[in-house]
Structure 1
Amino acid sequence: MDFTFTEEQLAAAEAARGVFAGVTPDAVPSPALTTGAVAEGFDRELWDRLAAADLLSLLSGAEYGGAGLDAIALCLVLRESAKVLARVPLLEHSAALATVQAYGDEELRGRLLPRAGRGEPVLTVAASGRTGHDAAELAVTARRDGAEWVLDGVQTTVPWAYDADLVVVPAHTGTDRSVLALVAPGTDGVTLAEQVSTSGERLGELRLESVRVAGREVLEQPGAWEWLRELLATGTCALALGVGDRVLRLTSEYTGKREQFGHPIATFQAVAVQAADRYIDLRAMEATLWQAAWRIASGAAGTLPLAGDVAVAKIWAAEGVRRVVQTAQHLHGGFGADTEYVLHRYHAWAKQLELALGGAGAHEEALGDLLAAHPLG
């Protein structure tokens, strides 16, 4: 494997830095300052700039107006977005389009990808299951009825559910097969109940009662949901890395200026060792992220299935970003608890990303099962 980025991947990251240059985390809703309220809507102006920079169609083929890039390019862009806490459904939208590109038929690809690459419609994914702890594909049942599919069930904590035009919903058919249905929130039988994330964002509990979806809006090809799930988890690791990168920089800047006994506290051994440990966490997060993204991008076979590399990346991302923000709060002292300072917003995002799509413990259990089923010796 080669972790050297291509010119096209680096160009995507550079374009993302340009788009996000004017975004300030101070404008991000704060759960500490908006008790009892939730953030409504995402940053539409930023969304339009991402579309204009062709960053919403990174993984779509050139024939659909996209760049034809891969999961590595997407993760580079997601890392940049997380550094400024960009409030856009970039991960969910991009992952959904990539799945349609990989598993949809020609009619669906031609109808959806060019428009969605321009930012309309907006797609999100229901990936948390009924409770947030069970398999998402088991939370909804799907049965055929002529040319349509009928869906019943509940998906919890759907991001951007109140803003998306289409929600990609995994469902099981009563056999070992899963399908992905593209459901419009305004469809008969679909209801949303408001939920609030750790970061103060508005989520939705999606309830489906005898919801009819046309067959052309359903991805039936085997492996579609599993591939989408791993791409979402890997993208979440990229977001966690971006948050961790920015938080460690904030910590470095603060400890380099804060003085005790006439010296910057960054020169104290106890402070320097803690910061160095967090730097090592970030490099481990980075290495495992690129391993998982490379597996997705290349389709390469490994000793373990792709899910194993994704599980390792998510374990490091969850544990690493938690340790980075905890150390940052500690080294900032009382200043770290100041809600006028941006660190508390990064802390809230870090906690959300740590637990999104399963915390470290859940992925350690999944990795154990994979190792039992695929012994490395």
Structure 2
Amino acid sequence: MDFTFTEEQQAAVEAARAVFGGVVPDAVPSPALTAGAVAEDFDRALWARLADADLLSLLLDAKYGGAGLDAIALCLVLRESAKVLARVPLLESSAAAATVQAYGGERLKAELLARTGRGEVVLSVAANGRTGHDPAELAVTARRDGAAWLLDGVQTAVPWAQNADFILVPAHTDADRTVLALVPRVHEGVGLGEQISTTGERLGELRLESTRIDARDVIDADGAWEWLRELLATGTCALALGLGEGVLGMTSAYAGRREQFGFPIATFQAVAVQAADRYIDLRAMEATLWQAAWRISAGSTEGAGGPLPVSGDVAVAKIWASEGVRRVVQTAQHLHGGFGADVEYPLHRYHAWAKQLELSLGPAAAHEEALGDLLAAHPLG
């Protein structure tokens, strides 16, 4: 079996490297010991360059100006973005647009997708990589009211909510179903509270009070929320992998030039063993990421690749990403010595982003329990 990436996927990586090559991770002030956000908005200039490189429309069909690629291509680009801590809502906007394309109505797709691919409309999602599978756990409820849906609830920690044009909100209905409502940021019954993430970026507390959304802007299709949830989680794993690779590269460069007793510390066995362990973590993160991305790209949450649902592969990827990114950054801080504790050194920003990714993915133990339940329900062999 050929596991190499396709020419189109490799072209997306090359385009991403060209765009992100000019991003300097330490150009943004450190979030440590400060009360406010590092910036009021995301990097609009970088967003425009991503649009010019057709990287905002990777998952969209050609009729919407896209490349028609899959989740693997998106994860490849997200991996490159995380190496430089790119401050853009690439995952959220791409995942929301792909969900609208796969499950939304024709009117919604025609009005939204091409503009999103050009970067004119920015989307976010009121969910994260650790959101559970039970619809009753969702913070927002929805009830039908004629030709509209009424939304109520408070969703915290919505990424880029202050700057997105629309937020795709999963909501629990009386029929024990999940719908996805496309909520304008400025709309009657919509409120946004200020929150700050571990990274120092702005988050939004989305407050919905009998917010009326036209039924044509609500996705009520089987599998839509499940597909979006798994894509967001897998994309978050891709961000963790890219960040970890960036940190390990930074650590290798430092260990190669930092000398003790007349020798680079990279030549010491204790240092080499720790770096090797973290390299193994990254390779495990990578292997499980591509398995999950491939299952999502297969187009079904069940059956493709075996009896275990795609959520099982995503759970494995989250286990490795959540634990792995933490171990990589902790080792980096240890091997950097005093620089590892310096909040003005670029490694500190990577640590803050790694912690935010770990929190977004949730604890590995919870994913191990979920995986155990799936294995019990879908016995192998």
TM-score tier by shorter-chain length is over 0.9
In the TM superposition, what are the counterparts of 1:128-147 in structure 2 within 5 Å? 128=128, 138-147=138-147
Residue 128 of structure 1 contacts residue 357 of structure 1 at CA under 8 Å; is this kept in 2?
A: yes
Distance, in Å, in 2 between the alignment partners of 1:106 and 1:185 is 22
Distance, in Å, in 2 between the alignment partners of 1:103 and 1:121 is 19
Give, in angstroms, the shift of residue 70 of structure 1: 0.3
Letter paired with 2:347: L
Residue 128 of structure 1 contacts residue 134 of structure 1 at CA under 8 Å; is this kept in 2?
A: no
Distance, in Å, in 2 between the alignment partners of 1:2 and 1:93 is 31
Distance 1:135 1:210, change over 3 A: same
Indicate the residue corresponding to 2:333 in structure 1: 329
Give, in angstroms, the shift of residue 21 of structure 1: 1.0
Letter paired with 2:362: G
SS in 1 for 2:156: strand
2:261 corresponds to 1:284: no
Q: Sequence identity of aligned pairs in percent?
A: 78
Indicate the residue corresponding to 2:184 in structure 1: 184
Distance, in Å, in 1 between the alignment partners of 2:169 and 2:113 is 18
Indicate the residue corresponding to 1:193 in structure 2: 193
SS in 2 for 1:252: helix
Indicate the residue corresponding to 1:319 in structure 2: 323
Distance, in Å, in 2 between the alignment partners of 1:270 and 1:135 is 45
Letter paired with 1:365: E
SS in 2 for 1:181: strand
Residue 128 of structure 2 contacts residue 232 of structure 2 at CA under 8 Å; is this kept in 1?
A: no
After superposition, give the CA deviation of every residue in 1:95-143 in whole Å (9 maximum; x if it has no partner).
00111111112221111100111112100000159x9789676211111
In the TM superposition, what are the counterparts of 1:263-274 in structure 2 within 5 Å? 263-274=263-274
Indicate the residue corresponding to 1:77 in structure 2: 77
Distance 1:111 1:25, change over 3 A: same
Letter paired with 2:276: A
Letter paired with 1:303: P
Indicate the residue corresponding to 2:43 in structure 1: 43
After superposition, give the CA deviation of every residue in 1:164-190 in whole Å (9 maximum; x if it has no partner).
000000011112311100001211111
Give, in angstroms, the shift of residue 332 of structure 1: 0.5
After superposition, give the CA deviation of every residue in 1:51-87 in whole Å (9 maximum; x if it has no partner).
1111000000001110000000000000000000000
Distance 1:98 1:65, change over 3 A: same
Residue 28 of structure 1 contacts residue 85 of structure 1 at CA under 8 Å; is this kept in 2?
A: no
**Range 358-367 or range 73-82, more displaced:** 358-367
Indicate the residue corresponding to 2:365 in structure 1: 361
Residue 199 of structure 1 contacts residue 348 of structure 1 at CA under 8 Å; is this kept in 2?
A: yes
2:240 corresponds to 1:240: yes
Identify which of 284, 301, 310 aligns with 1:306: 310
2:106 corresponds to 1:106: yes
Letter paired with 1:191: G
Residue 125 of structure 1 contacts residue 168 of structure 1 at CA under 8 Å; is this kept in 2?
A: yes
Distance, in Å, in 1 between the alignment partners of 2:311 and 2:227 is 9
Indicate the residue corresponding to 1:56 in structure 2: 56
Give, in angstroms, the shift of residue 341 of structure 1: 1.7
Give, in angstroms, the shift of residue 369 of structure 1: 1.7
SS in 2 for 1:370: helix
Residue 322 of structure 2 contacts residue 361 of structure 2 at CA under 8 Å; is this kept in 1?
A: no
Compute the TM-score of the two structures, normalised by the length of structure 2. 0.95
Letter paired with 2:235: G
Indicate the residue corresponding to 1:371 in structure 2: 375
Indicate the residue corresponding to 1:295 in structure 2: 295
Indicate the residue corresponding to 1:229 in structure 2: 229
Give, in angstroms, the shift of residue 47 of structure 1: 0.3
SS in 1 for 2:336: helix
SS in 2 for 1:356: helix
SS in 1 for 2:240: helix
Letter paired with 2:58: L
Residue 30 of structure 2 contacts residue 344 of structure 2 at CA under 8 Å; is this kept in 1?
A: no
Q: CA RMSD in A?
A: 1.6
**Range 89-98 or range 294-303, more displaced:** 294-303
Give, in angstroms, the shift of residue 25 of structure 1: 0.3
Distance, in Å, in 2 between the alignment partners of 1:349 and 1:2 is 34
**Range 366-375 or range 107-116, more displaced:** 366-375
Structure 2 spans left out of the alignment, 5+ residues: none
Give, in angstroms, the shift of residue 29 of structure 1: 3.8
After superposition, give the CA deviation of every residue in 1:295-343 in whole Å (9 maximum; x if it has no partner).
0112324231000000100110010000000000000111112223210
**Range 354-363 or range 281-290, more displaced:** 354-363
Distance, in Å, in 2 between the alignment partners of 1:128 and 1:242 is 18
Indicate the residue corresponding to 2:16 in structure 1: 16
Give, in angstroms, the shift of residue 36 of structure 1: 0.9
Residue 29 of structure 1 contacts residue 200 of structure 1 at CA under 8 Å; is this kept in 2?
A: no
After superposition, give the CA deviation of every residue in 1:2-60 in whole Å (9 maximum; x if it has no partner).
43100000000100000111110012342115x11113210000000101111000000
Number of aligned residue pairs:
375
Residue 179 of structure 1 contacts residue 220 of structure 1 at CA under 8 Å; is this kept in 2?
A: yes
Distance, in Å, in 1 between the alignment partners of 2:184 and 2:365 is 34
Task: Give the 4+ runs in structure 1 shifted more than 3 A.
Answer: 131-137
Residue 20 of structure 2 contacts residue 80 of structure 2 at CA under 8 Å; is this kept in 1?
A: yes
Distance 1:88 1:286, change over 3 A: same
Structure 1 spans left out of the alignment, 5+ residues: none
After superposition, give the CA deviation of every residue in 1:223-271 in whole Å (9 maximum; x if it has no partner).
1011000000000000000000010011101111111111111111111
